[in-house]
Amino acid sequence: MKKALYFACFIMLSSVTLADDHTKQYGMVNLDASATSDVVNDELITRLQVIEDGRDPAKLTNLVNKKTALVLDAVKNFNAIKAETSSYNTRPLYNDGEISSWQVTQQLTLETGNFEQMSQFIADISSLANIQSMHFQVSDAKAEEVKQTLLKQAIVNFKDKASLITSEFNRKGYDLVSLSIDGNHFTPMPVMERSAMMSADSMRKGAPAALSGGSNEVSVQVRGTIQLNAH
C-alpha cells in the first residue's frame, strides 16, 4: 500500500515538473540583429609570378632562381612591403603526347598598406615578374577595431527589437535566454577588378600607376532568444 502511494506521488510530482518545464517554453522568441559599415581598404595583397619556358629544366630553374633573388633584393628598398616566396613548380609541356619543353614558375606574395610603394615596386621589377592578382582588403587590426563599434550597435539593435516585441505583445518585460555573436561577415572586393587590371597593364610597361583600394562591407550579427514575461 505504501509503495503504491509513493508511486502515485512520484507520478504527480513528475507531471508537475513536466508542466512547469513546458510552461517555461511559452513566450520564447528568437531574434537577430546586425550592424554594417563600409570600411576603406587599407591593405593590398599582390601575387607575382616568375616564369620561364624552355627545353632545359636545369637552366630554367637557375634563371628563375636568379630572377626571384633579384625581386627579393629589390623589395628591400621598400620598407612598407612584406614579401615571401610561395609555390614553386616545374612541369613539362606536351606536343602530340610528347614532352616538347618545360615550364618553371616561382610565386611571390607581397603585402603592404602603402599603395604607392607597391605601385612603384611592381613598375621597377616588371621585367622580372608578372602580376598574377591584386587583392585589396581591410587589415585585421582595422577590421577588429570596426567590429568593436559594430558589436555595440548590433546589441543596441537587438535590444530595440526585443523591446518592440515585448511592447506589441503587452508584456511586462523579457529575459535574455541565450545570445551568440557572429563577427565574421565580410564582403571582399573581387580579385583583379577592371581598374586593377588596367593598372597592372600600365605597370608591366614600367610606369607606376595609381592604385585605389576602394572599400569593403564589414558587419556583425547578434542572434539570441528571449522569453517574454507574463502579463
Q: What is the pLDDT of residues 58-92, one digit of tens each?
A: 999 999 999 999 999 999 999 999 999 989 999 99
State in Å, rounded, how far the first CA of the chain is from the last one. Answer: 44
| Predicted TM-score (pTM) of this structure | 0.70
Q: By CB neighbour count within 10 A (0-12 exposed, 13-18 middle, 19+ buried), where does 41 fall?
A: buried
Domain boundaries defined on the chain: 25-41+139-189+213-231, 43-137
Give residue 25's pLDDT band: very low, low, confident or very high (50, 70, 90). low
Rounded CA separation 87/122 (Å): 19
The fold of 25-41+139-189+213-231 is Translation Initiation Factor IF3 (3.30.110)
Answer whether 90's CB lies under 8 Å from 46's CB: no
Strand partners, 217: 38, 187
Q: What is the pLDDT of residues 145-198, one digit of tens each?
A: 999 999 999 999 999 999 999 999 999 999 999 999 987 545 545 444 434 444
CATH of domain 43-137: 3.30.70.360
Rounded CA separation 82/107 (Å): 14
Rounded CA separation 140/151 (Å): 16
99 is written with which cell numbers? 614532352
Q: At what angle do helices 194-204 and 115-124 cross, to 10 degrees?
A: 40
Higher model confidence: residue 206 or residue 31? 31
Strands 215-228 and 130-137: unpaired
Rounded CA separation 163/156 (Å): 10
Q: Estimate to the nearest angstrom the gap between the alpha carbon of 68 and the chain centroid.
A: 29
Q: What is the pLDDT of residues 131-148, one digit of tens each?
A: 999 999 999 999 999 999
